[in-house]
Structure 1
Amino acid sequence: LKEVTGLTLGVLGRTLMDTSLDGHGGIAHAFEAVQDQAMFDMVTQGLVPTWVPLATQRRFRRARRDLTRTVDELVADRASRLDEADPGDDAFARMILAARRHDDPAVGRRLLREELVTLLLAGHETTASTLGWTLLLLARHPHVRDLLRDEARAVLADGRLPDADDLHKLTYTTQVIQEAMRLYPPVWILPRIAQRADEVGGFPVPAGADVLVCPYTLHRHPDLWDDPERFDPGRFDAGRAANRPRYAYIPFGAGPRFCVGSGLGMMEAVFVTALVTRDLDLDVVPGHRGVPEPMMSLRMRGGLPMTVREAD
């Protein structure tokens, strides 16, 4: 998955930041350490102080220093090319301008750094996870891959690259991505805080309680999905999806905390999958099982080793 992660990170840099991330290859490794620590903190509920000399804590502190340095370099580079009279339409430029206009410059810089780290992490890790599981499922289900290839070659004929108008034409490809995210939601668990007392499944939930919503189990619940373990992109055909309960499918969360990057993430996943499948046959190396590794995102243990050849 290293190549897929590099791809999604590069796309993020070009589209939202007007910045090349080619010289910052260590970002992905630093984010792994940050995610590991975040997962550790969530499981232990913060009972283990950060000064405890654990290997994960040391790795996290190094990663945090590396990320801070990298983010400061990215900000300095983009700020040096920023014309306040005509800043451009990328999100990064608007973030820098907002930080400059903050009443407290120090707070503005801190908020900018935190927002950028969030943007970089959420903007590439989840899409990379989705692409990895999609490629694995397509390799395991060649008949689905053939149908997707037929659509991709019809819509993206003569080897051309897609544009925004092609997204609604790649309907089957979109269904494949949706089904991959049903089986393997990139954010497999969502921490929330109960705003008021409630009862769920007969269990009392007091106001202020930490609540973990698990899309992974929700998306495989037999009361909501027929034959839930089966890979079936047709579930997301408009006719079949119409009668599904509203919150049966939440790969991007739901409510006020719904993922703001869902549109970009879906477009990227659909276009990359269509292009790769149109031109290439990717098969999993024999013996690789594709076992989920539930960290902050749903990783694949051991990555995704594949053989690549030109498609017929």
Structure 2
Amino acid sequence: METTLSPSRPIPIHPGLPIVGNTLEYLRDPLAFLRRLQRDYGHQRMVCINVGGRITTLMLKPEETKQVIQENNRNYGRGKSFAILREFLGNGLLTSEGDFWRRQRRLAQPAFHRQKLAILAEIMIEEAVAWVDRLEKSADIKPVNFSAATTDVTLRIVTRTLFGSSLGDQLDGLSSALANLNHVANNAVINPIRLPKWVPTPDNRSFEKATQKVNNLIFGIIESRRQTGETRDDLLDMLLRATDDETGEGMSDAQLRDEMVTLFTAGHETTATSMAWTLYLLAQHPEVVKRAKVEINAVLGQRDRPSADDLRAMPYLSQIISESLRLYPPAWIMSRLSLGPDRFGDYVLEPNRGVLVSPYVLHHDPDSWPDPERFNPDRFAPEQSKDRHPYAFLPFGGGPRLCIGNQFALMEMQALLTVLLHRFDLRPMSGLRIKTQPLITLRPKQAVHIYLD
């Protein structure tokens, strides 16, 4: 029997051009377009837009966002854009749905338990110290390209924490192949016209070649580990040994491949980007750096490196990271598809309607964040956070699909910042103003260059 809801008033519609609707306005500057919608329709809490010929409803406030991704989450499937990511990542935790997703989440969750993360934290700290040692040797004259430097160190960390080793020469091949897949996926996101994969376009050929390289390497590692049966303190080992409490079954090789590629990509590119944004902000705010260094020095004393427990004892550094993620959330927009009707106050959302949830919009809402463009880590002090709606801040999503690696990413950033700021001050290049590049993740449009003193 079809579900019906009592009459309601229509959801407001943002006017657009004939045929193309709001597509050109969106493609010209997605973030400016979203902010304009927030300004003009925020008091109405949601608005319909036409992008790419599809009517989509953008949620503008935390309450409605919570209803979509938590309270009534089973009414919302993955949006159309996830089909692009699924080609890239496979059927991993980010892209899978329904009972399959719930089973995979149960299998993977123990690998991210606090005790397991404490083991991985030691690898993060070790790599952070080696990273800062390398920076010290090369930072005497030129500013450091931190877009490249953070990519390098997060790649090393995610490789060791996932596979238990640096992979040697294989790492370059895996890194370049995943970079190619990411490039093709980004092109697909911003290009409304997509040709089938069998058409031999440069992107399609690159995608096929890169996919084959990734599969050969990942399946080879999985097969080798299954044959030897050796135990390691890495995420692959934890996932290999995971079994479903309900069925007693573990993951197939294909499932392991998809989860490893998902974790590799999410644990590498997004963390590197977030670190680059954080350092960009810190270089412009020496007073924040000074306060962070006081906290770091108080915790570390005469020691040159932190422990996992030390990372949890620096609340101001956590506030810095949170404020950076507020201003520049890596997952800046998320799409869903309504499976049935849903009521939001006086509005009724139709079935089979695209829905957008934008952490970027929520993080820049002046109702939740006064003076939202200002970098102010004190926003996240306990006394300022206690009355804020929990869905006003969604750097890792929310509800049942909260990013499984959120604590991993936060610990990694904390380790890198602690070791770097313990040894260096930051000084920006004169006149450096970085613009945003909203692709799959919210990237800096140009390289982030900073002097180390």
Instruction: Report the Cα distance in structure 2 between the residues aligned to 1:62 and 1:283, rounded to whole angstroms.
Output: 41
Measure how far apart 1:268 and its partner are: 0.9
Corresponding residue to 1:94 among 238, 243, 249: 238
Instruction: Report the Cα distance in structure 2 between the residues aligned to 1:289 and 1:26, rounded to whole angstroms.
Output: 33
Instruction: Report the Cα distance in structure 2 between the residues aligned to 1:27 and 1:287, rounded to whole angstroms.
Output: 36
Query: Partner residue of 2:257?
Result: 113
C-alpha contact 1:12 1:124 (8 A) present in aligned 2: yes
Corresponding residue to 2:449 among 296, 302, 305: 305
Whether 1:131 and 2:275 are equivalent positions in the alignment is yes
Whether 1:66 and 2:213 are equivalent positions in the alignment is yes
Instruction: Report the Cα distance in structure 2 between the residues aligned to 1:125 and 1:250, rounded to whole angstroms.
Output: 18
Whether 1:35 and 2:182 are equivalent positions in the alignment is yes
Letter in 1 for 2:196: P
The DSSP-based 3-state class of the residue aligned with 1:247 is helix
The DSSP-based 3-state class of the residue aligned with 1:15 is helix
C-alpha contact 1:36 1:295 (8 A) present in aligned 2: no
The DSSP-based 3-state class of the residue aligned with 2:437 is strand
Letter in 2 for 1:308: L
Query: Partner residue of 1:18?
Result: 164
Instruction: Report the Cα distance in structure 1 between the residues aligned to 2:367 and 2:176, rounded to whole angstroms.
Output: 39
Change (3 A) 1:242 1:111: same
Measure how far apart 1:12 and its partner are: 2.0
- Once the two structures are superposed, the pairs formed by residues 154-193 of structure 1 within 5 Å of their partners are 154-193=298-337
Change (3 A) 1:264 1:64: same
Change (3 A) 1:193 1:127: same
String of CA shifts for 1:179-228, please: whole Å, max 9, x gaps. Answer: 00000011111222324323569765323333221111210011211100
Deviates more, 1:280-289 or 1:245-254: 280-289
Instruction: Report the Cα distance in structure 2 between the residues aligned to 1:67 and 1:19, rounded to whole angstroms.
Output: 17
Query: Partner residue of 2:436?
Result: 292
String of CA shifts for 1:233-277, please: whole Å, max 9, x gaps. Answer: 000001100110120000010001101111111111112112111
Measure how far apart 1:22 and its partner are: 4.4
Query: Partner residue of 2:404?
Result: 260
- Once the two structures are superposed, the pairs formed by residues 241-260 of structure 1 within 5 Å of their partners are 241-260=385-404
What is the TM-score when the length of structure 2 is the normalising length? Answer: 0.61
The DSSP-based 3-state class of the residue aligned with 2:312 is helix
Query: Partner residue of 2:64?
Result: none
C-alpha contact 2:333 2:359 (8 A) present in aligned 1: yes
Query: Partner residue of 1:237?
Result: 381
Letter in 1 for 2:395: P
Change (3 A) 1:143 1:104: closer
Letter in 2 for 1:38: A
Instruction: Report the Cα distance in structure 2 between the residues aligned to 1:33 and 1:209, rounded to whole angstroms.
Output: 32
- Once the two structures are superposed, the pairs formed by residues 135-154 of structure 1 within 5 Å of their partners are 135-154=279-298
Identity %: 35
**Matched pairs, number:** 303
C-alpha contact 2:177 2:213 (8 A) present in aligned 1: yes
C-alpha contact 1:30 1:64 (8 A) present in aligned 2: yes
Instruction: Report the Cα distance in structure 2 between the residues aligned to 1:288 and 1:197, rounded to whole angstroms.
Output: 48
Letter in 2 for 1:63: A
Instruction: Report the Cα distance in structure 1 between the residues aligned to 2:226 and 2:433, rounded to whole angstroms.
Output: 45
Measure how far apart 1:95 and its partner are: 2.9
String of CA shifts for 1:33-88, please: whole Å, max 9, x gaps. Answer: 323333444556785322334433333223222222332343345445533xxx34
Change (3 A) 1:72 1:287: farther
Instruction: Report the Cα distance in structure 1 between the residues aligned to 2:210 and 2:339, rounded to whole angstroms.
Output: 33
String of CA shifts for 1:65-116, please: whole Å, max 9, x gaps. Answer: 2222332343345445533xxx3453202333569xx9999x9222221111
Query: Partner residue of 2:6?
Result: none
Change (3 A) 1:246 1:305: same
Gaps of 5+ in 1: none
C-alpha contact 2:162 2:264 (8 A) present in aligned 1: no
C-alpha contact 1:36 1:296 (8 A) present in aligned 2: no
C-alpha contact 1:10 1:22 (8 A) present in aligned 2: no
C-alpha contact 1:136 1:284 (8 A) present in aligned 2: yes
What is the TM-score when the length of structure 1 is the normalising length? Answer: 0.86
